[in-house]
Structure 1
Amino acid sequence: MGKNDLLLDSYSKYNIKPQFNGSIKNPAKSCFLSSKNPSIDDYDYSFCTNTEKHKKTILLFGDSHVAEFSKAIREKYWNYNIIQATASGCPPIINVKGDGTCQTLFKMVFNQIIKEKQIDIVIVGANWSAFALTNDVIPGIKETNELLKEKIPSVKFISQTKNFPAALPMLIMNSKNISEIIPEKSSRDFYNKMKKELPSVDFIDIYNYGCKNDKCILLNDDNIPMFFDNNHYTYEWTKSIVNELF
């Protein structure tokens, strides 16, 4: 196993906490709820929604596909308040269906956070295609966008992300030609569907990030893979994306 293979293999034990959870200091609490901390009681409301009056405020709202940008956004927008309400299990839309904890947190966003806090920018995102069978995602995004725009000056949705058939580092290790590694058709089709059917939504379009003239880079100059699993960006890639697109 060569040096690059050792690096790629290390992503099987990737620690998401520093990247997904901002700068939270209490290890028993979180701003990102998942199967490892599935209770709404694990959400540190006082820390995750804390704001100072003299600063502008960004709300990060959605599942792990927003949480993964937490560290990079906090670094770029260090002089902003960052409110983070993120949980895996369902999409951040009105009338959401899915896991009880994420439903509770997302309803808290609609019924409490956006009403109590003066928010300047909201960034909403999810692995949208993963919820297409359980939720009316396209109409839900449209309605959610309209609702948020009533309260918040700048409303941005992160587009659908690529999904690969297996963890990208393993695909790269086992591939003789990286250019032959392509994302799953379902994620590509849903990305195209969102762009076509939601023209009024302001998207941060990340699906084709790293692509030019139909050629897509999956490793950066330091041989860091785009994803650590099959659909979540590594920190180094989130930093580049945030600096260029957010």
Structure 2
Amino acid sequence: MPIRDRSERNTHLWHWPIIVYSKMFFNFSAGTRELVIVALTFGLAVASRYLIEIPFRYKLSALRSGGIVTASAAALVILGCSTFYVSHYQNHSGHFSDDALTLAKFSQYHGTDEYYYQFRTGSCFIDGNDASKGTYQREQCLKTSTTGRNYLLIGDSHGAHLWRSLSTAAGEQVNLIQATAAGCKPVIGQTFSNKCTELMNYIYTEWLPHHKLDGVIISARWLPQDMALLQTTLTRLKSVASNIVVMGPTIEYSEALPDLLAYQHDGRTDLVAHSVDQQIKGMDQRLQRLVSQQQVRYISVYNIVCPQDRCHALASNGEPSAFDYGHFTLSGADDVARQAIVQMHRDIFM
């Protein structure tokens, strides 16, 4: 079998221990960890091919069995002691503190009653790729008020996680309508079709042109490839709606934030700060320039969560601000919404 094939097979032996120990011993930043893992995986695969596999297969008679056993035993002892030190000595004999466990429980936030209350999953927030997650309820979710001011929130899951908090922060005189779906972005002109794109096309091409609103808010997990379609969407939207606001990307972490907070609480200093996706700041700045060129109001969620680049992983009540890589808990969304509404009041909630 060619050497290349054997080296590729050897990567399967190395990647899991490298992933595990890179998390245990090092606080790599988001992106850096992945590069280190890939480099070490292939480097060790090639090294083990020439230093272990070939000698054992073809030069076994020239090796001293006693030396092999001694070296292998020493390596296992060193690895075992290192693992024991980190997992038991540094972590209170392998047990998390009560405070750390309280933080970690928020990684199970998805599917709780508070999660459904926050997102309105299955009715006003649907999964565009999964028929089992409900159907968008137009009568309920697009109901306008005859006495208050009507605003529409269009978004994916990074719009849905803000709806409840924005609605509460805006006050009783504001009726915040919700049109959110996972599986696409809240833009016009997407080249695929599912329940999410069907909802977005309906909102932009059928519903909005026939309903007079006081404002529109667009929020999503924005990526570089979304820029062109967002620009097109804003151009068309301005012809049928006024007081448009785009909310920028949410801060993201390399792992679920509650887990990071739990490990950090029990000794992993600066783990959360090193796990922040540094690309979000650049995306926020690019998006702000694009939106400003369209003369549309922009709310930087990054600047709210990370004032002066110091990101707040805990909400004001002490709970994790997110329950996974970047979706806000209700308390985290409340903190963001209160500041966002203050900024929006300057232009649209008047």
Aligned 8 A contact 1:39 1:101 in 2: no
Q: 2:159 aligns with which of 66, 69, 92?
A: 66
Cα distance, 1:238–1:110 mapped onto 2, change above 3 Å = same
Aligned 8 A contact 2:317 2:331 in 1: no
Q: Which consecutive unaligned segments of at least 5 residues does structure 1 have?
A: 23-28
Aligned 8 A contact 1:218 1:225 in 2: yes
Matched, 1:79 2:79: no
Matched, 1:19 2:118: yes
Cα distance, 1:215–1:187 mapped onto 2, change above 3 Å = closer
Cα distance, 1:52–1:194 mapped onto 2, change above 3 Å = closer
Measured after TM superposition, the shift of residue 41 of structure 1 is 6.6
Which amino acid in the other structure matches residue 246 of structure 2? F
SS in 2 for 1:227: coil
Measured after TM superposition, the shift of residue 82 of structure 1 is 2.4
Matched, 1:236 2:331: yes
Measured after TM superposition, the shift of residue 124 of structure 1 is 0.4
Measured after TM superposition, the shift of residue 35 of structure 1 is 6.5
Cα distance, 1:123–1:162 mapped onto 2, change above 3 Å = same
Matched, 1:94 2:188: yes
- The match for 1:143 is 232
Higher helix share: 2
- The correspondence of residues 183-198 of structure 1 with structure 2, limited to 5 A, is 183-198=276-291
Aligned 8 A contact 1:89 1:98 in 2: no
Aligned 8 A contact 1:89 1:99 in 2: no
Aligned 8 A contact 1:90 1:99 in 2: no
SS in 1 for 2:318: coil
Q: Which consecutive unaligned segments of at least 5 residues does structure 2 have?
A: 1-95, 342-350
Which amino acid in the other structure matches residue 221 of structure 2? N
Could you tell me the TM-score, scaled by structure 2's length? 0.62
- Let me know the Cα RMSD of the aligned residues: 2.3
- In 1, the alpha carbon distance for the partners of 2:135 and 2:245 equals 27
Could you tell me the TM-score, scaled by structure 1's length? 0.86
Cα distance, 1:94–1:221 mapped onto 2, change above 3 Å = closer
- The match for 2:77 is none
Return 148-157 or 201-210, whichever deviates more: 201-210
Rg comparison, structure with higher value: 2
Which amino acid in the other structure matches residue 17 of structure 1? Y
Which amino acid in the other structure matches residue 333 of structure 2? T
Q: 1:119 aligns with which of 213, 226, 229?
A: 213
Measured after TM superposition, the shift of residue 181 of structure 1 is 3.1
Which amino acid in the other structure matches residue 142 of structure 1? Q
Aligned length: 235
Aligned 8 A contact 1:61 1:86 in 2: yes
Which amino acid in the other structure matches residue 31 of structure 1? C
Q: 2:292 aligns with which of 183, 195, 199?
A: 199
Q: 1:5 aligns with which of 100, 111, 118?
A: 100
Which amino acid in the other structure matches residue 331 of structure 2? E
